[in-house]
A and B are shown apart, each in its own frame.
Chain A
Amino acid sequence: MALSSRETVIQRLRKALIHPSDPPLRVRPEQAAEGPFEPLEEDLALAFAKRLLQLKGQFVYAETQAELATYLTKALEGVDNRHLFCLEPEIQDLLRKSGLPYRVDTERMEEAGVGVTGCEALIAWSGSVMVSSAQAYGRTLTVYPPIHWVVARSSQLVPRLKDAFGLLRQRYSDQNYPSMVSTITGPSRTADIEKTLVLGAHGPRELWVFLLEDEANDNS
């Protein structure tokens, strides 16, 4: 009887791996504790902000909700298409308090000027925003509108990628991961024509991160 392709490949793998190979020569595990990367600045928010600005993203820090409202309003001033789309109750609440109207009719998403979302984590080392499809914003809102605003809390900052993976494991026990987890590092970009950097290849041209202090609530 003919073998299925699955059986064929597994048999080939088994046969090929009969002879083990030696590990690479230059393993230096004794240095592994420190890791290969440059150490991170103490202040995670500062490290994150520096990276994001280098990536031509925008960073805004707000100590209170009132401050956030001012900054959001100001950020919208320079935008042509002021249709905000926002799907998470907590962020909708912040927009409402800021006096900014938003839309939720996702079937008309092509009219969106700005997608406003939260995130899973902010990664200080690389200035990255980790988002996932398990949140109300889904897959579309973090990539389709021409501008992406992320509203995050300072407790969402983690030092490195591995810390963000740790959070994912905690939040979504194994085998229950969101169908999509994306680590966004700066606005969409390309350098496919003569290595010339152009922002907004297919995803958002602008990426803004509004970082709100955790203690900030209605009364502050």
Chain B
Amino acid sequence: MSANLQVSDRFDQVTSSKGFDLEHRRKINFNMGRYHAAVQAGQKDYRDPELARDQAAYLKWQAVESLEKHLLRFESACRTNGAKVVWAADANDALEAVLEVVRRHKTRLVVKSKSMATEEIHLNDFLEKNGVEVVETDLGEYIQQLDGEPPYHIVTPAMHKSKEDVAALFHRKLGTDPNASPEALTNHARALLRDRYVEAGVGITGANFLLADTGGVCVTENEGNARMSTTFTKAHVVIAGIEKVLGSMDDLDLLWPLLAAKGTGQQMTAYNTIFHGPRRENESDGPQEMVVILLDNGRTRLLEDPQTRQALHCIRCGACLNACPVYKNIGGHSYGATYSGPIGKVITPHLQDFDQYQHLSQASSLCGSCTEVCPVRIPLHQMILQNRHQAAMGPGASKAQHWVWKAWSRAMLHRPLLDIVGPRTKSWFMGRFVGSLWGSRRTLPAPAPRSFRSLWRQRTNPPNR
């Protein structure tokens, strides 16, 4: 219960300052504006965008309904391809598996391409504690790592930074020109990271999709850093959530374009790569070993209930974050969770501790924009409501709230009860019990001197008649 208070209190504190940070809002609006323009322009590639969503929703539904079967098929195909498969029931299993590979290859340097699953298990901290340096190679993640911050957004990690912020950061940490352009900064990072790809013993990636039919691991990226991280290293380690598996390679014909369209507004992301094991005998280069870690870490809890199961259809495109009016105002860090935005509100309480994180579902206007943009049609706003329902019915529910609602519904259903007291008493009552919830930035409206009911009665039955 005390942990419960800490997490939600922190959320209250952070959001009540972040929500009014105009500089933050300006940067986000600028970056989001560019995203929305690109996505809008990308719509022209689709004859029927709604059909694309229907088909994608169906594909992911099918895949998750047969999750066990698909994972076993994937495992067997993956082994035939010469890769090792490790099942991780929780974060600890996954961390130990990574460390085992790193130790075996006697390396002190790991290059990593962008992966939310590795953020979820706090892989970097763990490896650093074990004396292994981890270099983030995606530019956005590299910026965040330099700044000592977690990613702000699941697709665009440094979305909250202006180009001036990044130039200042690079100047401070790397000694570049304080007024360097995005192009100069990118080139600088490119040059620094080139050597690291060759030095590193192990390359770590996430996975956007796993293919049950071919044992393929699919990685989508624009920069080429995942390609570089899996070219020179001795081992390629993949950390993939178990929900990533698809029935067939052919499903990518729709899901690759759709992930791009919703993630960045591109028709296709620059590099869509499928890995089928380590370097083969007849091949000229590539890692000698590939290990695929299948991560549960709470996902089977989401799977249990057919309602929450739908959250496992998510392809992590980030569209719901970009559509969310709450996200745009409080920003990605305020959530205090690996997965932010609407999808984060839905899954975090189930992946972690429900009572500790259910408050995220309360911080929603339920406007439904997230549901409207989701490429796989996850009913996000309904699932947020469902979390609220579970919280209200669960053991962690507040007794005081229960009684307030009870009294409220009784009063609303028995109109005469409301008229027993005058407007000044009502005003005092509201101020006393609702005022703190209303917040210090809004003024609680005072009840009118006369109620609508009495005004109406006067109008229909004038006293002089």
Contacts and interface: CB of A to CB of B under 8 A. Distances in A.
A203 B138 contact: no
Question: Chain A contact residues: over half helix, strand or loop, or mixed?
Answer: loop
B47 interface: yes
Contact of A177 (B45, B276, B285, B301): B276
B285 A183 contact: no
Interface residues of A, number: 77
B273 A16 contact: no
A186 B221 CA distance: 12
Contact of A34 (B47, B193, B273, B280): B47
B157 to A, nearest CB: 7
B162 interface: yes
A10 B68 contact: yes
A28 interface: yes
B49 A36 contact: yes
Nearest to A172: B276
A184 B268 CA distance: 9
Contact of B294 (A9, A15, A200, A203): A9
Interface stretch (B121-129, B179-187, B352-360, B438-446): B179-187
B228 A24 contact: no
Interface string B161-192: 11100100000000000000011011100100
Contact of B300 (A12, A24, A31, A180): A12
A14 B69 CA distance: 9
Nearest to A200: B190
Interface string B427-451: 0000000000000000000000000
Nearest to B75: A6
A24 B182 contact: no
Interface string A161-182: 1100100100000110111111
B282 to A, nearest CB: 7
A126 B283 contact: no
Given A126-B268, A201-B190, 20 more contacts: A5-B89, A12-B300, A16-B304, A27-B58, A36-B47, A36-B48, A36-B51, A36-B52, A36-B254, A37-B46, A37-B52, A139-B283, A177-B81, A177-B276, A185-B271, A190-B222, A192-B139, A198-B183, A200-B187, A203-B224
Interface of A: 4-6, 8-10, 12-17, 19-24, 26-28, 31-32, 34-39, 51, 87, 106, 126, 128, 133-134, 136-140, 142-144, 160-162, 165, 168, 174-175, 177-196, 198, 200-204
Top-6 shortest CB links A-B: A203-B224, A201-B223, A36-B52, A21-B306, A192-B140, A138-B284
